[in-house]
Each structure stands twice: as structure tokens, then as C-alpha cells.
Amino acid sequence: MTAAPLLEVEDLRIDLDDGARRVAAAEGVSFRISRGETFGLVGESGCGKSITALSLIGLLRPPLSIGSGVIRFEGREIQHLSAAAQRDLRGNRIAMIFQEPMTALNPVSPVGRQIAEMFVLHKGKSWREANQLAVEALASVRVPAPERRVHDYPHQLSGGMRQRVMIAIALACGPDLLIADEPTTALDVTVQAEIIELMRNLCAERGTAILMISHDLGLVANVCRRVAVMYAGRIVEERGSADIFRAPAHPYTQGLVDSLPRLGSRAALGRTRLKEIAGVVPAITSFPDGCRFNPRCAQASDICRTNAPTADFLEAGGLVRCHHHA
């Protein structure tokens, strides 16, 4: 690779300080995102995917903090930047959209103003220009009659429309990286598809890289070129999204793929039970020794209970952390 990747996370460890001791809510997290790439981070609730995203934009709040590791944005380390410098990065170069379009908009401010504020804040535009740009931004996310919609308050818009507004706000300043944390979880399935499509198209047009965080492996694989699967604070597998479905390498990923219902599978396989992964995610304070997946893993052997697996780099690209991976 000639140019430095857009975002580079190296051996990131996030500490959770519960007063008595520090435990690692995430550790050894490493990944890279190139310019314009789409990258997915998948895992169950509490696996550390959201806090990883928050750490990227410097928004970890006590009791969470970055324990060690390096985060580079355009080759520059950003984890120790001053508050003002991080603020300048946020919204401007790195934007984020949230899970809840219902609550992520200020209820007492017209949506146009909330979009326009981004231009005033980061681009130093006058309010006049900014309001004009807000109409264009709203048009770009395909909100009908944007010149009228800018005067609407969030409660006058549907969930899908609000998420479009959120996307317009996030992409207003032409960021290089868009972090989407479960962007469609709160929406209807049909609206979900539209929003994903819109987000993907807009980012492709503008060369914006996407870091998509979700528990929905199917959705992420659909949007992203590469996927990392997190389990209990560690990345267990990172692959191209087509490969991960075809031949999951880690038992956990295998379990996730098997637990997805497949359309038409009944005709091919007959009536079968959908598989599940036995057990629950261990609590952050009591991660097991060795491979953290070992209590739930069918293939677990003695080494899994004592030694944490290191990353095996696959020939086809990607990596997996499992002792049993051949």
C-alpha cells in the first residue's frame, strides 16, 4: 500500500475503571480503513464495538478510557490531541450517525437550522449561506420539498426522514470517515433498506469511508467490503465480507452465520432447527482465561482454556484468532 490508510487502529486497549480495579473492556483491537472503504464491526451487545467507535472520536467518558494503543487518522496520532483539536475533527472530518433518530435531533430546533449549524461551525459560513446549503443537503438525502422541510421540527418527521436528516448533518461537511453505529436498528425493514442504500451511494459519490457498527451480520456484509467480528472485547476474525459468509474461520463467526435464517434453505435441507450459540457473553469483569470464547465453543480443547490465541493471517487476506484454525 502506497498511501497511509485513512484510519489505523493499533493494539487498542480500552480500560474500564470500576473504582477498585481496571479491566479491559476491549483489548488488542487493530484494524485499518482506507480512503473510501467500507468496513464493518460486528458483535453482540457488550462486545466492545460501540466503545471502540467512541474511542476513535475521543468521546470515551469515565469510567472508560483508552488504556494503550495508537489511533492514527491520516497518519497522525489522534488519541492524545487537545480537546479543541478533537472537536475540530469531529463532525468535520469524522462524522457519526446514531442508532436512535428519534432522540438524536434537538426537538426545539428546526431541522434546517441543525444542518446549517454544521456549516457555520466547521466551515465558517454565514447563516444565510448555511441555510441555503442546508436546503441542498436535505435535497441530497432525497427529502422531498427540502425548501419547505427545513422549517420542520423533528417531531413532524417520520423515523426514516429523521435518519435522512441525521445523514445530511453527518455528511454536511464532507467528512472522510462516517461512523454509523447501528444506523437502522430503530427503523422498519423497508425504510432500513432505503437508508442503507442512500448512505452507501452518498458515501461512494463523495469518497467517504464508512465504519459500520452493527449486530446484524447480514446487513454489514451487504454494505461493507471487509468485516471484523468482535467477541468479548477482541477481534476474533477479520475477512472480506463474501469470504466470511462462505467460509467462516472462527467458531464464533461460524455460529453467527449458522444462526441466520436463510431464505429457501428448507427446500434444500428439509425442515431443520435454526442453530444457536449456547451460553451467554461473559461479563466484562469475568472474562475467561485463554480464548474468551472457550466456554461456549464446541471445539474447545485444553490450550483454548489457558492460552489466548494469536492472530493467524490468512492467505486470502484477513485474520483469525483461533487455535483450531488450520
Interaction site with other proteins (CB under 8 A):
57, 59, 87-92, 95-96, 98, 100, 102-109, 117-118, 121-122, 166, 169-170
Which of residues 122 and 296 has its CB atom nearest to other proteins in the complex?
122
Q: Least distance (Å) from other proteins to the CB of residue 188? A: 19
Whether 217 contacts 260, CB under 8 Å: yes
Which of residues 177 and 232 has its CB atom nearest to other proteins in the complex?
177
Work out the angle at residue 66's Cα, subtended by the Cα atoms of residues 39 and 184, and round it to the nearest 5 degrees. Answer: 35
Dist. CA 278–CA 294, nearest whole Å = 11
Q: Least distance (Å) from other proteins to the CB of residue 116? A: 11
Q: Least distance (Å) from other proteins to the CB of residue 229? A: 25
Q: Least distance (Å) from other proteins to the CB of residue 87? A: 5
Contacts 24+ apart (CB under 8 A), 128-137: 133/172, 134/168, 134/172, 137/168, 137/169, 137/171, 137/172
Which of residues 165 and 300 has its CB atom nearest to other proteins in the complex?
165
Which of residues 80 and 266 has its CB atom nearest to other proteins in the complex?
80
Residue with the three cell numbers 479491559: 24
Which of residues 26 and 169 has its CB atom nearest to other proteins in the complex?
169
Q: Least distance (Å) from other proteins to the CB of residue 141? A: 16
The helix/strand/coil state of 244 is helix
Which of residues 98 and 293 has its CB atom nearest to other proteins in the complex?
98
Q: Is the dihedral of CA 278, 282, 288, 291 positive or negative?
A: positive
Alpha-carbon radius of gyration of the chain: 21
The helix/strand/coil state of 57 is coil
Task: Report in angstroms the alpha-carbon separations of 167 from 54, 157, 223, 246, 255.
Answer: 18, 14, 16, 32, 33
Q: Least distance (Å) from other proteins to the CB of residue 123? A: 11
Whether 290 contacts 263, CB under 8 Å: no
Q: Least distance (Å) from other proteins to the CB of residue 176? A: 14
Which of residues 164 and 323 has its CB atom nearest to other proteins in the complex?
164
Whether 176 contacts 209, CB under 8 Å: yes
Distance of CA 55 to the CA centre of its chain: 12
